[in-house]
Structure 1
Amino acid sequence: MDDEKRVKESDTLEGGFLHLGFDHYTIRVEVIDNNTLPNHCIIRSTIKYELENDSKAHLLSQLSIQPLITIAHVVGDYIVNNHNK
């Protein structure tokens, strides 16, 4: 977690996508100030993964951005509710 740059990067160490067969799985969430709209921010989310073997390509259908959408909503709610405190 980098509080100054507002970046959170999380590597999966066991279970989850690694258990499914991915060799590496990382999510990154970055909160960016939106200077053009007051009281707004941009949330940039990234999924990075590795599959060492082409025979695992069927695993790509398991990837979803839904967890990142949920994180964006939680972060947005937190910022709105705690902005002026």
Structure 2
Amino acid sequence: MSGHLEHELELGVPVTEAWDLFGSLQFGELLGKDMPSLFQKVEVVEGDGGVGTVLKLTFVPGTLGPTSYKEKFTKVDKENRIKETEVIEGGYLELGFTLFRVRFHIIEKGEDSSILKSSVEYQLKQEASENGSIVSNAIQALASIAQVAKLHLNKNKLASQEK
């Protein structure tokens, strides 16, 4: 069983500002700090934010499905503003998923705005098909994460305009 779910949100900031956040480790720091209802911790296990970087995400129990997992940055495309991560240990893999990939794509929308397209691509063992509904929770979490990022980016935009 496999599938793909996505979510889009207009961010209201130029594409370069959005990518500066999503294309860096600052994004993980933001989640760990600004989403205490979802994340207990977001830790860099290894790497500097480029391909091969490994993060450990620990969730508040009962919020998502898995309590924690490690993910690896498998693609960081600065030119096209795409970042992909795959779960490499724990979490979704323990629930029968053989692939769980999250993708963030920042799309330019005019000079002063951009769109964040978040998606989950997954493959699930047939014998674990009852866990397929967990993906809906994951895409809802990505929608919440997008909203927090939008608020952060626009707060920074207002602060810089006031200076």
**What TM-score comes out, normalization by structure 2 length?**
0.44
- Following TM superposition, the consecutive aligned residue runs of length 4 or more in structure 1 with deviations greater than 3 angstroms are 81-85
Shift of 1:83: 4.5
Deviations 1:22-63 (A, max 9, x none): 11100001111112xx53321111111112x32221110111
Aligned pair partner of 1:71 in 123, 145, 150: 145
CA distance in 1, matches of 2:128, 2:104: 26
Instruction: Tell me what 2:72 maps to.
Output: none
Instruction: Tell me what 1:14 maps to.
Output: 89
Identity of aligned residues (%): 32
Number of residues of Structure 1 aligned to a counterpart in Structure 2: 82
Distance 1:26 1:70, change over 3 A: same
**What TM-score comes out, normalization by structure 1 length?**
0.77
The residue correspondences of 1:34-49 to structure 2 (distance < 5 A) are 34-35=109-110, 39-49=112-122
TM-align CA RMSD:
2.1
Distance 1:16 1:48, change over 3 A: same
User: Where do 5+ consecutive residues of structure 2 fail to align?
Assistant: 1-75
1:39 counterpart SS class: coil
User: Where do 5+ consecutive residues of structure 1 fail to align?
Assistant: none
